[in-house]
Amino acid sequence: MSNRSTYLKLLSAVIVFGAWEIAGRIPVSYAFPTFLESMSALARMTFDGTLFAAYGETLKPLVIGVAISAILGIVLGLWIGLSSVFDWMFSPIFIVMQAAPLAALIPILVMAYGIGLTSKVFVVCIMAMPVIVLNTSSAVRNTPESIKEMGRSFLASDRAVILKIILPSASPIIFSGLRLGVSAGFIGAILSELKITPTGVGDIITFSRSIADYPSMYAAIFSIILLAVVFLNLLEKLENTLFEGNNRGYASD
């Protein structure tokens, strides 16, 4: 199954990059470079250190924001999922946070916290935390009652029921929420750099666009996507390691 998954991912990448190259050669727009031109710009920025310096700035709010969102999001999600009172009190807050247009909130954050690291961390948290909280609470709430009752019939404590029954049962959806949260965190980090202060990778995108260096702009965007994919795959491997029994295969395998 792992070989099949790898082959399908490689095939998907070949199709996407091939379509990108063809679209750039037609071209669909003067501002749309080919895949090879973008990769050449990516290699140049990597070897001259520009990309590493940019990610040194971008990863600060991203790592801090995602870490805060993951820890608080899972804790709050468990809390909300285990208590109907807290569900009624706090779920609407995170639903509104998820639905609210982030671009409209950024000026408020800048007024409150300035244009430094704090505002950018808040943007990442606003993007990442709601999806983590809502997925975790939903997973906990939908744990089969019969399994929990079976644990209690064997005199399991509330703590044991949570740690040994609810969390393993809810882990697939919790990790799905984490993956979605990490993806949203990447969006928040770049959006904060584009809307608050042009630093890091956001600065490369803004500057490259201003001087019509479109291969560098697309290369910076591609590097963000690539890093996000690496993070998501690491989370998937962590889930498979921690909860091996929850792995699912293809129906045709």
Judge contact between 224 and 189, C-beta under 8 A. Answer: no
pLDDT digits (tens, 9 = 90+) for 45-96: 999 988 898 888 888 888 999 999 999 999 998 888 888 888 888 888 888 8
Is 116 contained in some domain?
A: yes
Is 3 contained in some domain?
A: no
CA gap 63, 42 in Å, rounded? 23
Residue 155 has pLDDT above 50, yes or no: yes
Domain range enclosing 85:
34-244
Say what the pLDDT of residue 174 is.
Answer: 86
Split into its structural domains, the chain has a count of 1
pLDDT digits (tens, 9 = 90+) for 228-240: 888 888 887 877 7
CATH number at residue 231: 1.10.3720.10
Is 136 contained in some domain?
A: yes
Q: Average pLDDT of 178-188?
A: 87
User: Has this prediction a pTM greater than 0.95?
Assistant: no
61: which 2 tokens?
């709010």
Could you give the maximum distance between any two Cα atoms of the chain, in Å? 69
Say what the pLDDT of residue 86 is.
Answer: 83
Residue among 194, 56, 70 nearest 120 (CA): 194
Contact partners, residue 87, CB within 8 Å, separation at least 6: 80, 81, 137, 141
